[in-house]
Structure 1
């Protein structure tokens, strides 16, 4: 009888641990807004900025990527949410960008308590060279 109870208790604990690890492995989705909304390959911009709805203090900054490009810097917006900045040249040279079309950019990262998050936005990519004066 005692071994039967221990077996049931062991199964319960194992099941709870499995559920907890499965829950932690799933990323939560956040709304993001990428700026500029039209990325001009021919422009001389410096950064691509991504605004999130994740509190700034909850983000493990060095875990944040945009389509595989590591974050360059970050800050909090006026609501205390996380804002990420990426080198525009690294974004402009991503493989598979469709010039003249909409391109999916996905932000990924971890919170300070180890929870994964991600968010997606679409950006139009254009190639308009500036006029020389």
Structure 2
């Protein structure tokens, strides 16, 4: 009778041991240190001589998970932010701060990088190349 009980326990115990070994061999789920997002900078051509006041960056990250004050564009602090019609985060930056960034090359594409943190502390980034020009508006010539 003892042998029959041992035989009945053998299969479940063997299955439990096999399951435990398989689970310990599986790679652990890893949380990314960076979340890459898509951004759309508007305007995508910045005229150094224009009267523009705001550079807007549309994203595909949910507004509700972004710590708004953490967001920068090439090191420029965010001026204000909002949610778009889809519930995504939209960042607004002072145009003069963007126009005077160190290293901007007139007549070339320049990379703008949006960096911020989620409310959970994860960093997100997105980049877009924009053209920078210096054309004096027609009324100012």
TM-score past 0.5 threshold? yes
Tell whether 2:62 aligns with 1:77. no
Question: What is the alpha-carbon distance in structure 1 between the residues aligned to residue 113 and residue 39 of structure 2?
Answer: 9
Tell whether 2:133 aligns with 1:116. no
Deviation digits for residues 13-37 of structure 1, max 9, x if unmatched? Answer: xxx7xx86xx46x111000000001
Q: Where does the alignment leave 5 or more consecutive residues of structure 1 unmatched?
A: 1-11
- Give 1:35's aligned residue: 42
Equivalent positions of 1:82-97 (< 5 A) are 82-97=89-104
Q: Where does the alignment leave 5 or more consecutive residues of structure 2 unmatched?
A: 1-23
Deviation digits for residues 48-68 of structure 1, max 9, x if unmatched? Answer: 000000110110000000000
Higher relative contact order (CA 8 A, sep 6+): 1
- Give 2:137's aligned residue: 130
CA RMSD of aligned residues (A): 1.6
Tell whether 2:130 aligns with 1:107. no
Question: What is the alpha-carbon distance in structure 2 between the residues aligned to residue 49 and residue 132 of structure 1?
Answer: 25
Task: State the aligned residue count.
Answer: 114
Give 4+ residue runs of structure 1 displaced > 4 Å after superposition: none
Question: What is the alpha-carbon distance in structure 1 between the residues aligned to residue 111 and residue 105 of structure 2?
Answer: 10
Indicate the structure (1 or 2) with the bigger Cα radius of gyration.
2
Q: TM-score, normalised by structure 1?
A: 0.81
SS in 1 for 2:59: strand
- Give 1:51's aligned residue: 58
